[in-house]
Amino acid sequence: MDPTFANALIILVFAIGYFAIIFEYNIKINKTASALIMAVLTWMFAFLIQDQDPIMAIHSLGEHLGDVSQIIFFLLGAMTLVELVDAHKGFKVITDLIQTNSKRKMLWIMGITTFFLSAVLDNLTTTIVMVSLLRKLISDREDRILLGSMIVIAANAGGAWTPIGDVTTTMLWINGNISTLSIMKALFIPSVVTLVVSLSLLSWKMKGLHSKLEKKAEAQPSEPGGRLIFYSGIGALIFVPIFKFLTNLAPSMGLLLALGVLWLITDLMHRTHEGRQHLRVPQILTKIDTSGVIFFLGILLCVGALESVGILQNLANFLDVHVHNVSLIATVIGLISAIIDNVPLVAATMGMYDLSTYPIDAPIWELIAFCAGTGGSILVIGSAAGVALMGLEKVDFLWYVKKVSWVALISYFVGIGAYLVQSAILG
């Protein structure tokens, strides 16, 4: 098959698959199905390119499968740990901190709590936990979805500055584009600025008091060992980057070790109680969003196909010639991530620019981590956290655009400005 024709077919399959993913709710086809079909077809056409050595093609696929598997196992381990904490009602520790009836104070408490919780968990899980908590605490829907929107912005900002807080930052970290301490130092202040600006802008809308908040908070049930599992789970997640630093092994190995330890703890804790099967890991594993994990698999494999045939490299050359400015490229990627899922965008960027041109902790990787993470807040469909809010609270797309998008957009640009000023000062 002619290479130009094969590349055109790959791009066509990718475009059709992407539109199917974006309009999932309109066409009533699950995005995971679209991602898997797209992944296999792109690799099939990649294999059919004329004059490509089949052995080299198989080797290329094997390398991409190895890279993708690290991310998949990391996600599976992290999701299991969080579900384990949630099953034990460990997040009641957070509930106990939220004991105010002031709408404005509630906004700041929820925003700050979400920001730091997202940094050690991930933005999707944190959003689900915090929005679920809001549903139990606040009865007024307008106030609840506005707070929920703030949670999306805070979760995305909080997840951007640590290697385990956002899947895109995790991808860059696992691939060796960024290191733990450098990314935290580079993005903490810009992420905080993004949070504070968005909280300040939304504070004008939050006036008055919530009713019966404390009574509802106190009514939350608890499970045996909830507090122990909460602190153990958080400690296990914090341990992962330390494990990578000490052993130089893949982060997924550290997370699997942490999961094994938590599995051991819960088995010992509940082994003599037949009525606690719902608190043990085998039962927890049935609650994992396997469809979401397989979606990541399909997307990452598809982007790998684009990289293997040189399409992404050609795009990188185009941007270098016509844009060239690293900050502008990262800013545009962040804006696009408000419309298109940031996972394939970051995966594509990783394929477009290699580490020999832009070494570890280069500004482009730091800015992409920040922009892809926080830019998704501009539209409710732009991030996993926003999609979770839509699912839990049935938030209308146009309502979000009218009430929240401008806040997210302003805080996004101010955050980028903070990064550039910080970089200029530190040299």
Alpha-carbon span 390 to 145, nearest angstrom: 9
Q: Are residues 142 and 264 in the same domain?
A: yes
Alpha-carbon span 283 to 180, nearest angstrom: 33
Q: Are residues 201 and 221 in the same domain?
A: yes
Alpha-carbon span 19 to 12, nearest angstrom: 11
Alpha-carbon span 204 to 111, nearest angstrom: 15
Tell me what pLDDT residue 171 has.
Answer: 83
Contact status, residue 177 vs residue 97, Cβ threshold 8 Å: no
Q: Are residues 6 and 96 in the same domain?
A: no
Split into its structural domains, the chain has a count of 2
Tell me what pLDDT residue 76 has.
Answer: 85
Q: What is the mean pLDDT of each run of 10 residues along the chain (427 residues)?
A: 76 86 79 89 79 71 83 82 83 70 85 89 78 78 90 93 85 87 93 96 76 50 80 84 82 89 90 82 85 81 80 71 80 82 73 81 91 90 79 80 93 95 86
Alpha-carbon span 122 to 342, nearest angstrom: 14
Please name every residue paired with 102 in a beta bridge, in sequence order, or none if there are none.
Answer: 209
Q: What backbone torsions phi and psi does residue 79 show, to the nearest 5 degrees? A: -65, -40
Q: Which helix (H) or strand (E) holds 174?
A: helix 167-174
Buried b (16+ CB within 10 A) or exposed e, 109-135: bbbbbbbebbbbbbbbbbbbbbbebbe
Contact status, residue 109 vs residue 85, Cβ threshold 8 Å: no
Tokens of 168: 């895109």
Q: Are residues 112 and 6 in the same domain?
A: no
Tell me what pLDDT residue 199 has.
Answer: 95
Please state, in angstroms and as integers, the Cα–Cα distance from residue 328 to each residue in 173, 363, 383, following that order.
Answer: 22, 12, 21
Residue 379, domain extent: 59-426
Alpha-carbon span 300 to 67, nearest angstrom: 9
Tokens of 357: 């041109």
Alpha-carbon span 417 to 370, nearest angstrom: 12
Is pTM beyond 0.85 here? Answer: no
Tokens of 26: 């309109």
Q: Are residues 21 and 87 in the same domain?
A: no
Q: Are residues 94 and 17 in the same domain?
A: no
Q: Are residues 335 and 356 in the same domain?
A: yes
Tell me what pLDDT residue 415 has.
Answer: 95
- If one counts every other C-beta atom within 10 angstroms of the C-beta of residue 328, the result is 12
Q: Are residues 77 and 111 in the same domain?
A: yes
**Which residues make Cβ contacts (< 8 Å) with residue 313, sequence separation at least 6?**
307, 351, 352
Please state, in angstroms and as integers, the Cα–Cα distance from residue 245 to each residue in 30, 181, 248, following that order.
Answer: 38, 10, 6
Q: Are residues 22 and 171 in the same domain?
A: no
Q: Are residues 259 and 394 in the same domain?
A: yes
Please name every residue paired with 209 in a beta bridge, in sequence order, or none if there are none.
Answer: 102
Q: Are residues 405 and 327 in the same domain?
A: yes
Q: What angle do CA 386, 68, 288 make, to 5 degrees?
A: 50
Q: Are residues 74 and 48 in the same domain?
A: no
